[in-house]
Structure 1
């Protein structure tokens, strides 16, 4: 984890290791920021379904690959949350924003995988959710991006 000062109002900004550090360096942004609220608030930038070390993304030409991208995006969000100081990962999330290129493709596979991911990662609570279909995401093969906000101790 790389930690830096984000701005006057933020305690610290952080970035996950591996591909997260690469993205942060070439695009000049932080993956997470901890705000000095009570309790502290974490805001996590959009995480895609990339391999956290290599940055490889499955080519989403099938329903299975879209579901795998979504599963990996959930895992990437959890890693960034924990690197930024969350002890509970998704358990601390109160708001998720999902951007998808193919939300309705493959007979709703993305919607089903998203709902299943929330059930798996947010056991015991239901965060606020906004899901939007967009024309394109930053990475050419990216089909999903998840941005979250969390309250931490």
Structure 2
């Protein structure tokens, strides 16, 4: 069975620190992730085979190996396959995600992100979007929503 491409953001999905506060730092020197959101992500990852592609703007400041170590330190049950490329002509996350989907020709995918520009996706793509709230992240209700889109 082919893997589902999971296009995953961090801020507002796994990192839920309010914007007006500095990130809490974990023992490995990187921002703390919300434990409930990690648990919900692990539940989702146990449902099917996923290939994680990081869409977070944080992808531009660390290497893939560093992010995979961060995921391992936070007990996330799957590693990151890669980063969405940084495209020069993309104005927002919606443009980046669309270009990635079209370039890679993925058909089975799920997007988990809090970026409101994704509301502008065409319906065929928006049906695969789990739009989180910045302070709640990937909570139980978003996990349930993801279940309905993966089944």
Does TM, normalized by the shorter one, top 0.5? no
Structure with more contact order per residue of length (Cα contacts < 8 Å, sep ≥ 6): 2
Name the one with the larger strand percent: 1
The two structures have a TM-score, normalised by structure 2, of: 0.33
